Amino acid sequence: MKIISVVGARPNFMKIAPFIRAIEAHGSTGSPGAQGSIEHILVHTGQHYDDRMSSSFY
């Protein structure tokens, strides 16, 4: 399964963090390509872009 999360502002990053941790925890129990594995892509829209904020998240 593939999931794309689109975020742009700081509140969005704060809300998506637990979701990303859950995906990573799920992925650590299965092998890549196995049924039930998840491929997650995080897309940063650049909305309200700030160098300091982005460097703390990436």
pTM (global) more than 0.85: no
- State the pLDDT at residue 57: 58
The pair of structure tokens assigned to 24 is 């990573």
Q: How many domains does the chain have?
A: 1
Between 11 and 31, residue with greater pLDDT: 11
Range of the domain at 34: 2-57
Which residues fall within 8 angstroms of residue 57, CB to CB, at 6 or more apart? Answer: 13
Q: Scanning the structure block, which residue is given the tokens 């704060």?
A: 14
Q: Is the pLDDT of residue 3 over 70?
A: yes
pLDDT for 18 equals 95
**pLDDT tens, residue by residue, 23-48:** 988 875 555 556 668 889 999 887 76
Q: Tell me the pLDDT of the chain averaged across its residues.
A: 78
Whether the Cβ atoms of residue 37 and residue 48 lie closer than 8 Å to each other: no
